[in-house]
Amino acid sequence: MSARDRVVERLAELVDIETPTGDADGLAAAQRLIRSWLHPLIGEPEVEVVDGIEHLLWPGGDAPSVLLLGHVDTVFPKGTILERPFRLEGDDATGPGVFDMKAGIVIVAEALEQVARRGAVSVLLTSDEETGSLTSRGLIEREAARAGTVLVLEPSLDGALKIARRGGSIYRVDLTGRAAHAGLEPWKGRSALTELAHHVLALPRLADDERGTTVSPTVAQAGTATNVIPERAELRIDVRAWTLDELERVDTEMHRLEAHTDGVSVAVSGGINRPPMEETVSAELLDCARRVAARLQHPEIEAVSAGGASDGNFTAAVGARTLDGLGPRGAGAHADHEWVSIGSMMERIELLVGMLDELTGAPAQHPEENSVTGG
């Protein structure tokens, strides 16, 4: 079997296992598959369990040189695979989670087949990145600090590596009023839904377009029946910013929220989830990627700042050199048109092998000695 055929086969196997965050059975099945790939290369992982959520860690010895970081979970609900099964048409593969980020996991497995000093490489695959890494954050920070260098296999941006990311905050606003019969005596009620509407309209005004700060109401729930004044409502808020100062400014304002409606209380929970990832943490690793790409005669490596956050935000915050977006070219993360380029996956495998060999101090190899594009 050629390397390309193996990549396609592994990608299909992994995409066919649905792994929405919180689905213990699906995540466990995907983890078993990944373990079968990596066990012959770097042994059995340590299963890190935090609040009942399992994450896989291959520690790479006492002093690993590089941490490879990724996540197994996806945003798609169970049953999506029945509507959008894995398909390969020419160079493009489609299916739920194929781009974000199951292709990146396959790249890790294939690269480890060729790395000269596997013992200097640690691998961490988490299970809750798509919901904020609430149980895995401490583990990510610990392993990033231990390695000092982190390569994140999140998708590229049309092939470009991600050298900076906005930070993010997550909030929940709970509103409590008083129920009443909407037909007989609505005046006796205090509508949590009306209060919710005020906040949906007001909160985006905390954004700052010039600084790239966004404040977005994203999920709302209220009411129990058509003829009942809603007693309770809930609103979720997503905040993104390029600087910690901006996240802290919005955080202060969020925790100052007051009611617009008499008789309705407002309770705010949540806060800053991921600090920003700044360009300085990526500079040396970007230079390394460009050297390796030139040696392999790959297209020139481009670099971008990305609006979305990832676990790379956490690794950068603890002082680890971090380069993100080492996954392949594709598009449609979190969307129905998600796709990935198999050819780009093959290039990324070569790039990752070259970078790992350089970063772990392995002897330099000629491109033809390190190629995965042949049979």
Q: Write phi, then psi, for 6 (nearest 5 degrees).
A: -65, -40
pLDDT digits (tens, 9 = 90+) for 208-226: 999 999 999 999 999 999 9
Instruction: Give the position of tokens 């008789």.
Output: 263
pLDDT digits (tens, 9 = 90+) for 102-141: 999 999 999 999 999 999 999 999 999 999 899 999 999 9
First to last CA, the chain: 7
Residue 253: is it exposed, middle or buried by C-beta count within 10 angstroms (0-12/13-18/19+)? Answer: middle
CATH number of 169-274: 3.30.70.360
Distance CA 134, CA 28 (A): 18
Of 76-90, 113-127, 206-220, 353-367, the range with the lowest mean pLDDT is: 353-367
Dihedral of CA 103/109/115/120: which sign?
positive
H helices of 210-282, where?
Answer: 244-254
Distances (CA, A) of 304 to 101, 102, 286, 324: 19, 22, 11, 10
Domains of the chain, residue spans? 3-166+276-370, 169-274
CA 229 to chain centre: 39
What mean pLDDT is predicted for residues 139-163?
97
What mean pLDDT is predicted for residues 171-185?
97
Beta pairing class for 232-241 and 167-176? antiparallel
pLDDT of residue 357 exceeding 70: yes
Q: Which CATH number fits domain 3-166+276-370: 3.40.630.10, 3.40.50.720, 3.30.1320.10, 3.40.1190.20?
A: 3.40.630.10
Taking each helix axis as running N to C, give the angle between helix 24-42 and helix 3-16, from 0 to 180 degrees, rounded to the nearest 10: 150
What mean pLDDT is predicted for residues 320-341?
97
Instruction: Give the position of tokens 């260098």.
Output: 149
Amino acid identity, residue 305?
A: S
Task: Count CB atoms within 10 A of the CB of residue 19.
Answer: 27
Q: Which of 135, 139, 134, 137 is nearest to 123 (CA)?
A: 139
Beta pairing class for 214-222 and 232-241? antiparallel
Q: What is the pLDDT of residue 365?
A: 57
pTM of the model: 0.84
Q: Which two tokens stand for residue 51?
A: 């609040």
